[in-house]
Amino acid sequence: MSFAPPPMSLLAELTHRCPLACPYCSNPIALDRRASEMETADWLRVLDEAASLGVLQVHFSGGEPMARNDLPELVRHASKLNLYTNLITSGVLINDTTLEALDTAGLDHIQLSFQDVDEAGAERIGGLRGAQEKKLNAARLIKARGIPLTLNFVVHRENVARVPEMLDLAHDLGAGRVEIAHTQYYGWGLKNRALLMPSAEQLEASTEAVVKARARFGNSLAIDYVTPDYHADQPKPCMGGWGQRFVNITPSGKVLPCHAAETIPNVVFPNVATESLGAIWQDSPLFNLFRGTDWMPEPCRSCSLKEVDWGGCRCQALALTGDASATDPVCARSNQHALVMEASTAGHDGEFLYRRFGAI
Ligand code: FES
């Protein structure tokens, strides 16, 4: 086993509790309950271990991470360890008091998620009445404090037509960055894929809107744009390569190479309760399962792009083919590429399955 350089980013999923119910949530279908969440002392130790390992950035996420009262304490500890701290939040629990506590603790950056620019559209996805107003207010409070702000929009066939207004809103609220991310189809997103999948025409229009906004806003607004895999023929380097740059810790302490890894069968998921983060990163069978290129089947193994896309996404390969070690079917060279094309043009009937505890 060769030595793996340390991860750059740690995603700390502090809780799966959340007042919203988005049907594309990146949390697993089997959500961790409050009783299984790690205690404050456990997270403090994990942050120490992350800093020793060489992690540079900590993203406090959830669920809704502000549902944890110890968030300011965790941010303060991470700041003392010289870790860059980012909060990924729905913003519905932000007010003057909660924001001041985070600001005083040394929080470096906030990523504020929006479901839409349209209030009815936002409530249809998030399922929380009045959330849009709270988010707008949160953005203004964050700006007033001078905390760097990114707006996140997950887009799909119901809201993708409003990408131009999303970009305008980010600019008007004074965000330095906005992420327009087409839905990824794992977990809840996969369950709701038919209702979320944009058409090729919708994708083209959203790409054009991003190009125009980049020209219009220039350096005043950085725009990250994530396209949907299912309309592509070249896989993305998911997580920058399995076990190469990114580590995810769940509320109950499981350590994963990506947020959807728990779908992979017949592997043991290591936990920081019983092993150190460094040992898990370096030596665990899970992190070494698809690290590098030795695991790759043909045609990946002889592909000139194998160290560019690192074989694409293992969870997507599993979801579509039933085999996590298969060539990502997004790749045009996969003999199962038709699965992606069929899914991207399938019908759009049904009702949303909302992300709620016990929804399935
Ligand atoms: Fe797991 Fe892409 S989400 S490898």
Q: For residue 316, give the ligand 1 atom closest to its CA.
A: 2
The answer, yes or no, to whether any atom of ligand 1 lies below 6 A from the CB of 261, is yes
Q: What is the DSSP string of 198-254?
A: PPHHHHHHHHHHHHHHHHHHGGGSEEEEE--GGG-SS---GGGSTTTSEEEE-TT-B
pTM comes to: 0.96
The answer, yes or no, to whether any atom of ligand 1 lies below 6 A from the CB of 258, is yes
Residue 242 Cα to ligand 1 midpoint, Å, equals 8
d(CA 168, CA 171): 5
Residue 182 Cα to ligand 1 midpoint, Å, equals 15
Residue 302 Cα to ligand 1 midpoint, Å, equals 22
The answer, yes or no, to whether any atom of ligand 1 lies below 6 A from the CB of 21, is no
d(CA 31, CA 283): 27
What is the 3-class SS of 143-166, one letter each residue?
HHHCCCEEEEEEECCCCHHHHHHH
The best mutation among 184, 267, 315 to test binding of ligand 1, ranked by most ligand atoms within 8 Å of the C-beta, falls on 315
Task: Per residue of the chain (360 residues), give pLDDT as tens.
Answer: 568 999 999 999 999 999 999 999 999 999 999 999 999 999 999 999 999 999 999 999 999 999 999 999 999 999 999 999 999 999 999 999 999 999 999 999 999 999 999 999 999 999 999 999 999 999 999 999 999 999 999 999 999 999 999 999 999 999 999 999 999 999 999 999 999 999 999 999 999 999 999 999 999 999 999 998 888 999 999 999 999 999 999 999 999 999 999 999 999 999 999 999 999 999 999 999 999 999 999 999 999 999 999 999 999 999 999 999 999 999 999 999 999 988 888 887 889 999 999 777
The answer, yes or no, to whether any atom of ligand 1 lies below 6 A from the CB of 260, is yes
Residue with tokens 């809840």: 188
Residue 73 Cα to ligand 1 midpoint, Å, equals 30
Q: For residue 315, give the ligand 1 atom closest to its CA.
A: 1
Q: For residue 264, give the ligand 1 atom closest to its CA.
A: 1
The residue whose CA is least distant from atom 2 of ligand 1 is 313
Query: Which residues, 6 or more positions from 8, have their beta carbon under 8 angstroms from its beta carbon?
Result: 55, 56, 57, 245, 246
Q: Is 310 left (phi over 0), alpha (psi -120 to 50) or beta?
A: left
